[in-house]
Amino acid sequence: MQSKRATYTGALSPIDVGDILPSYTLKNEKDEDVDVATLTAEKGVIFFLVPKADTPGCTTQACGFRDVYPDFTSHNFEVYCLSADKPTAQAKWQSKKNLPYPLLSDPKRVLIAALGAGEGGKTKRSHFIFEKGGKLVDKKIPVKPADSPKLALEFVKELSS
């Protein structure tokens, strides 16, 4: 029986719709510690997951979120890109593509696996929407790169109406 807290091995219990985002610390693209549970204190959060930074499909997905980023923030949602890439690779990609949101590094795919998007040492392209307070309210696994931002924004707009 696993609890909702991180165990000594670093594993997290599976997170499904209706569950609360647990406390777990990742590095952002600036190599700073970020406890993901604190991100939902003031706003809703969208995590979109990419298999590998700066590859064609991932760039399509990331730029899609970039292009509608103000629409998410106007609905009181923050966007985060989550991948197993090192912070240095994420920072380079962020700068190259002018990505306005933070990127989170999960090299051991602990949070990625808990979300159900880690399998066989790979990350499934997906996105997860947590409302303010941390409850998971929507998930899409897998999702096409161009569809991910559109579907996430449609869900956020419905949630806000």
Q: Which residues are the active-site residues?
A: 58
**CA angle centred on 38, ends 33 and 40, rounded to 5°:** 130
The stretches of 14-125 forming alpha helices (DSSP H) are 56-67, 69-74, 87-97, 110-114
